A and B are shown apart, each in its own frame.
Chain A
Amino acid sequence: MLIPCPHCGTRPVEEFTFLGDASVTRPTTNDPSSMEQWYDYVYLRNNPRGRFDEYAHHSGGCRSWLVVTRNTETHEVYGAVTARDYTRAKGARA
């Protein structure tokens, strides 16, 4: 797998550390009433087959956090943006 880092260009997969689903939103409160949200956020996974947005840290490169869009069945990489751009775009969509 080759990942197109927006800062470094196309780099091999071993330079990246993956952290799973980027589409989920971290709860914003610690209020006990938010326990269900936290449970869902920490433990449950959609775990899709196919198109998947995932966090990737370019730990062996520029060290920025990215969101890579990849196919979990074929390993085809569709693209990568910075995590900041991804979250902003998500905010704009919401």
Chain B
Amino acid sequence: MCKTKTLGAVIPPYHSVQDLRMRYNVFSLIKNSFSGHKNWQPAWREPQPKSEYDIVIVGGGGHGLATAYYLAKEHGLTNVAVLEKGWLGSGNIGRNTTIIRSNYMLPGNNPFYEWSMKLWENLEQDFNFNAMVSQRGVLNLCHTDAQRDAFARRGNAMRIDGVDAELLDREQVREMYPFFDFENARFPIKGGLLQRRGGTVRHDAVAWGYARGADSRGVDIIQRCEVTGIHIENGKVVGVDTNKGFIRCKKLGLATAGNSSETAAMAGLKLPVESHVLQAFVSEGLKPYIDGVVTFGAGHFYVSQSDKGGLVFGGDIDGYNSYARRGNLPMVEHVVEAGVAMIPSIARVRVLRSWGGIMDMSMDGSPIIDKTPIQNLYLNTGWCYGGFKATPASGWCFAHTIARDEPHKLNAAYRLDRFRTGHMLDEKGQGATPNLH
């Protein structure tokens, strides 16, 4: 086995790698248009794995790639590999409905999600990639007085943490979306909680932007490389088995979302996580119609309109444990019913496609970004319905946790042992169940 010293010399110095990449701007666009756009460079390399790295991240989804990016950018750690069993973006990062928001209530959650929002706001400049960050507003509808009270409380909690929140009455909502079913006999719309800074981001571009930014700083992104085993010696991680051979590492971070139970089990850990399938849908293209993100409050349905005109919508997880990236028809019907109750005019819109992703549902609806009982093994999981919006902060905090061997204060509440010690982060106050937000 090679020692790091020899390997250190092999790593191209920071700049020579970065110089291979061209920056994206109006000048490079014009320059490339003269050669018919045939001379664009690939956005990242396709390296073979080295036999040893300082840090290996398992999972090339949004969180794994963002972690590698921030390890390189914030901590100067570039002898890093991201191992992805499929291709970049094949997991939930390429399957979600692209909503970002920071409208949480609990002190352990809100500062983290607000940090994520701040990182989103500057992300495209930061990694020089167009991720189509669109702060078009996220509106949660309420249908009962009790729900409005709960929204007032959450909105106030958000504002205490410096997050924007506006409680709208029925007429204010009507002004934004006059075609909603306000007088629905069972679910009349009474108002809503609006976060104007919430919105949508092009999900694939997030993976690509982080991948390119990490790669250009020297990180090896290795696709079609599945981790099949974790080697532990004297309570310390020493490397991983993969379909491309054994790779030695000093630190190992797991960011495998819906497959977290399987990768953690390779290190003998049993997690407070279940894997469930969540479906999403897109309609045929329509003229501009719904300009923000809206969620129904009387059933689980949410919708936004993509730049191509399709309505992007989704609802609940199917409700049974699953590793299949497809769901069943009853949930399709259920989601569409809720949608039509909120917006009767979509009843005649045709659905173009539907798909599913495997969600890492934690037992209190909140994530885990932490060290583990095994030295040098770090865990990032439990993202439930909402890990996309968390991508920047999750990568940022996970990188910090790995680099410093201790959590940042923003992810200090996302402990693995909180279920044992009773420090759950249960936004809904509902108790242990794997179907929370």
Contact = CB atoms under 8 A, between A and B. Distances in A.
Chain A complexes with chain B: yes
Interface of A: 1, 12-14, 17-18, 20-21, 39-40, 42-47, 49, 52, 54, 70, 72-75
16 contacts: A12-B330, A13-B330, A17-B319, A20-B434, A39-B419, A39-B420, A43-B272, A44-B271, A45-B270, A46-B261, A47-B261, A47-B273, A47-B321, A54-B320, A70-B320, A72-B324
Given A17-B319, A49-B262, A44 B272 contact: yes
Contact of A47 (B275, B319, B333, B419): B275
Q: Is the interface of B mostly helix, strand, loop or mixed?
A: mixed
Contact of B321 (A12, A14, A20, A42): A20
Given A46-B261, A46-B270, A72-B323, 5 more contacts: A12-B330, A20-B321, A39-B419, A42-B432, A47-B321
Given A39-B419, A47-B261, A75-B328, A18 B271 contact: no
B434 A74 contact: no
Q: 6 closest pairs, A vs B, by CB?
A: A14-B330, A47-B261, A43-B419, A18-B320, A43-B272, A49-B323
A11 B298 CA distance: 28
Contacts of A1: 328
Contacts of B56: none
A52 B272 contact: no
A72 B323 CA distance: 6
Interface in B319-357: 319-324, 328, 330, 333
Interface string B231-272: 000000000000000000000000000000110000000111
Contacts of A75: 322, 324, 328
Contacts of B328: 1, 13, 75
Nearest to A39: B420
A73 B323 contact: yes
Contact of B432 (A18, A43, A47, A49): A43
A72 B419 contact: no
B274 interface: yes
Contact of B274 (A20, A42, A73): A20
Contacts of B384: none
B262 A45 contact: no
B363 interface: yes
Contacts of B333: 14
A72 B432 contact: no
Contacts of A47: 261, 271, 273-275, 321
B261 A72 contact: no
Contacts of B321: 18, 20-21, 47, 52, 54, 72
A45 B324 contact: no
